[in-house]
A and B are shown apart, each in its own frame.
Chain A
Amino acid sequence: EADIYQTPRYLVIGTGKKITLECSQTMGHDKMYWYQQDPGMELHLIHYSYGVNSTEKGDLSSESTVSRIRTEHFPLTLESARPSHTSQYLCASGGDSSYNSPLHFGNGTRLTVT
């Protein structure tokens, strides 16, 4: 049912490589988010965007960057991957300005850095 898509689903990459995790949504949502999730732990916000050309860092210190050139697209880039970046990355979007609007999540990218 998801209208928010993440690619790749799984990625194994060596230390020092540059990677981009893709996220696209077809719902026209202004707000988009990137979360990091480790097993048994809560989701941590690493980046968010209010709309085109708007990006902010979240709570979790991250060496990643994001861009929002188009409403539907919110890619996350790691310039130099490290083993500490190994985690599950979830992209989400939320529609209107109402607090009651639910987040729609993608199915995630599981990243392993060797």
Chain B
Amino acid sequence: KNQVEQSPQSLIILEGKNCTLQCNYTVSPFSNLRWYKQDTGRGPVSLTIMTFSENTKSNGRYTATLDADTKQSSLHITASQLSDSASYICVVSDRGSTLGRLYFGRGTQLTVWP
């Protein structure tokens, strides 16, 4: 069964600190992996998209890594800000159909304290 598992389920850090969120997946065949940020009461917003051949991709203070061999990805947040408080969702797409089916993780709830 194709799955996407994220850890930790929740995380609290102090403003200015760094953190790393994890995503493990079993989706096969693999097409791409996406990280989304979802603020409370809002829809998810895309942060990064990585294909099989990409190991690292950055978007400002967000850096995603991908190891397609071990089927693991991480999202590193540098110098956290209060506005980083949100749920971070890992989404993996397969190549099984023209639609590119998406598999969603349950998200990591990040809280940044002042």
- Report whether A97 and B44 are in contact in the complex, using a CB–CB cutoff of 8 Å: no
- Report whether B42 and A99 are in contact in the complex, using a CB–CB cutoff of 8 Å: no
How far does the alpha carbon of A4 sit from the alpha carbon of B46 in the complex, in Å?
A: 14
Closest B residue to A98 by CB, please name it.
B100
Q: Is B98 an interface residue (CB 8 A)?
A: yes
Most chain B CB neighbours (cut-off 10 Å) among A42, A48, A104 = A42
Q: Is A92 an interface residue (CB 8 A)?
A: yes
Closest B residue to A2 by CB, please name it.
B43
In the complex, which residues of chain B have a beta carbon less than 8 angstroms from the beta carbon of A104? 46
How many A-B pairs have beta carbons closer than 8 Å: the answer is 50
Q: Is A74 an interface residue (CB 8 A)?
A: no
Q: Is B51 an interface residue (CB 8 A)?
A: yes
Main SS of chain A's interface residues? loop
How far does the alpha carbon of A50 sit from the alpha carbon of B100 in the complex, in Å?
A: 12
Given the known A-B contacts A42-B4, A48-B99, are A103 and B106 also in contact in the complex, defined by CB atoms under 8 Å?
no
B: interface residue count bin: 20 to 34
How far does the alpha carbon of A103 sit from the alpha carbon of B45 in the complex, in Å?
A: 8
Closest A residue to B9 by CB, please name it.
A40
- Selected from A42, A48, A99, A102, the residue in CB contact (under 8 A) with B31 is A99
A: interface residue count bin: 20 to 34
Given the known A-B contacts A42-B4, A42-B104, A45-B102, are A100 and B32 also in contact in the complex, defined by CB atoms under 8 Å?
yes
Q: Is B71 an interface residue (CB 8 A)?
A: no
Q: List 21 A-B contacts (CB under 8 A).
A: A2-B43, A31-B99, A40-B9, A40-B106, A42-B4, A42-B104, A42-B105, A42-B106, A42-B107, A43-B89, A45-B102, A48-B99, A90-B44, A97-B98, A99-B51, A102-B34, A102-B46, A103-B44, A103-B102, A105-B43, A107-B43
- Shortest distance between the CB of A44 and any CB in chain B (Å): 8
Closest B residue to A103 by CB, please name it.
B46
In the complex, which residues of chain A have a beta carbon less than 8 angstroms from the beta carbon of B106? 40-42
